[in-house]
Amino acid sequence: MKNLSLRKIFIKTLALFTVIRGYNIAMLILAQYMASLFIFNEGKNHLEILLDKNLNFIIIASALSAAAGYIINNFYDLEKDAISRPLQNYIERFVSQNFKLNVYLALNILALGIALLVSWRVAIFFLVYQFMVWFYSHKINKLVWLNNLYSVILMVFPFFALFLYYENFSTIIFFHAGFLLLLLLVTDILKDLTTSTADTIYHYSTLPVIYGEKKTKLILTLLMILTAAWSVFMWTDSGTGYMKYFFLFSAGLNLLLIFPLWKSHSKTTYKILHLIFKLLIGFGIFNMVFIDLNPLNLQKII
């Protein structure tokens, strides 16, 4: 009986982890810490930044709000996911819709409570973010073009909290943000190519559904060329440190992946391209450390 109970708890925990997109939440947390250490940092040592309780509260509130957002999106997309993500959908069904809603509300309330520990302004910021996430799932998710742009804005929205907290509005930060927006937009449209069958059945107005596969590929090609050009620009900027080699790699990869994009009409190929871009974003997060890789700056670590 005890083993059965433990097994049930494990399955429900795994199901909830799948619902909240545990990998994406982990990447968000890591990205915010790396950005704080290597992009927003203006001379503070790294330990001082990591021990900043207000920063930690902001990152925790971001993670909880984003996790709640994935839950409410899953709540609305459950039927579509049964076709586009069958394995994950099977696992996710081990937690009821009612349980998901309760966890969604609990995470949002907890996030606001933690944000209040920083200031009421931070709490209002996250309240707006939570409303925007719900509005996306409730209305925007099925609107062509707007769904992609809105989704990408939501992905980077937690980083605006760091903008406001550090009050650092240097040009290089906006260039990093622009590069990330382009990568996320390409990744999001590639995801639409992988789910076009389910989107058609459940009347989601995505680019492949409205404009067809060929025009969607043309849009993706233009975005990938623009991302490559933006990467080259970042490569030439001295403010990126040794991370410039990541931008050079990104430029080459974006141009290279245009060929399999046009050569194949397979959902499997689109899924592989989508995964490659997700990994590229994760690789970019880890490469932030090279912005500050300078023997003269090693004292910042301690």
Instruction: Tell me what pLDDT residue 18 has.
Output: 76
Amino acid at 208: P
Q: Would you tell me how many other CB atoms lie within 10 Å of the CB of residue 55?
A: 20
Domain edges within the chain: 1-139, 170-302
Q: Are the beta carbons of 235 and 247 closer than 8 angstroms?
A: yes
- Which pLDDT band holds residue 92 (cuts at 50, 70, 90)? low
Average of per-residue pLDDT across 128-138: 92
Instruction: Tell me what pLDDT residue 43 has.
Output: 67
What pTM was computed for the model?
Answer: 0.87
Average of per-residue pLDDT across 248-274: 93
Residue-averaged pLDDT of the chain: 85
Q: 80-115 burial string, b = 16+ CB within 10 Å, else e?
A: bbbebbeebbebbebbeeeebeebbeebbeebbebb
Q: Is residue 132 scored above 80 in pLDDT?
A: yes
